[in-house]
């Protein structure tokens, strides 16, 4: 079985950055309503949540608790058009390139962070380990890049 992809893996981060750079500003999504620049802003803000720089209101959902939490983070495919925190979809970028630059910098920053530092609670999943943050952020980014065909 291949290793689980994660933001903690340098090769996985590099591949994501290449894919981020391949998204065209005018690309049409395969699902959903976000434009390509809005998707980049969403991913940027989602990583800001991981770093504790943006704190959406916590939600008491069944996905906060095992085993559902682990199934969603590590195994189940991400659903298309799933609801998300308004704080990570409300920002409307004026241009795509600054979003690409910011997102790429945050993906690269993930690898420089200390895994043993204090990681914030996720607004939907609650407390998470560094391993869970790395896998979730990789899978979330991959999900949205696939949304735009890269």
Bridge partner list, 17: none
Q: What is the CATH number of the domain that holds 56?
A: 1.20.120
Containing structural domain, residue 49: 10-147
Per the CB < 8 A criterion, the answer to whether 6 and 132 are in contact is no
Q: What is the pLDDT of residues 46-75, one digit of tens each?
A: 999 999 999 999 999 999 999 999 999 999
Q: Residue 11's CB: how many other CB atoms inside 10 A?
A: 8
Q: Is residue 17 part of a domain?
A: yes
Domain count within the chain: 1
Nearest alpha carbon to residue 8 among 123, 108, 78: 108
Tell me which residue of 109, 125, 98 sits closest to 53, measured CA to CA: 109
In a domain, 2, yes or no: no
Question: Cα 54 to chain center, whole Å?
Answer: 13
In a domain, residue 119? The reply is: yes
Is 3 a domain residue?
Answer: no
Instruction: Please write the tens of the pLDDT for every residue from 73-131.
Output: 999 999 998 889 989 999 999 899 999 999 999 999 999 999 999 999 999 999 999 99
């Amino acid at each position: 079985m291949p290793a689980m992809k994660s933001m903690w893996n340098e090769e996985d981060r590099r591949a994501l950055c290449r894919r981020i750079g391949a998204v065209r500003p005018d690309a049409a999504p395969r699902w959903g309503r976000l434009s390509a620049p809005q998707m980049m802003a969403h991913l940027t803000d989602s990583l800001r949540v991981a770093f504790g720089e943006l704190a959406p209101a916590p939600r008491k959902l069944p996905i906060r608790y095992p085993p559902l939490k682990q199934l969603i983070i590590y195994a189940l495919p991400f659903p298309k058009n799933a609801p998300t925190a308004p704080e990570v979809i409300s920002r409307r970028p004026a241009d795509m390139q600054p979003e690409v630059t910011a997102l790429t910098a945050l993906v690269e920053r993930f690898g420089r962070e200390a895994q043993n530092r204090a990681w914030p609670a996720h607004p939907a999943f609650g407390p998470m380990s560094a391993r869970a943050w790395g896998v979730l952020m990789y899978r979330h980014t991959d999900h949205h890049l696939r949304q735009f065909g890269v």
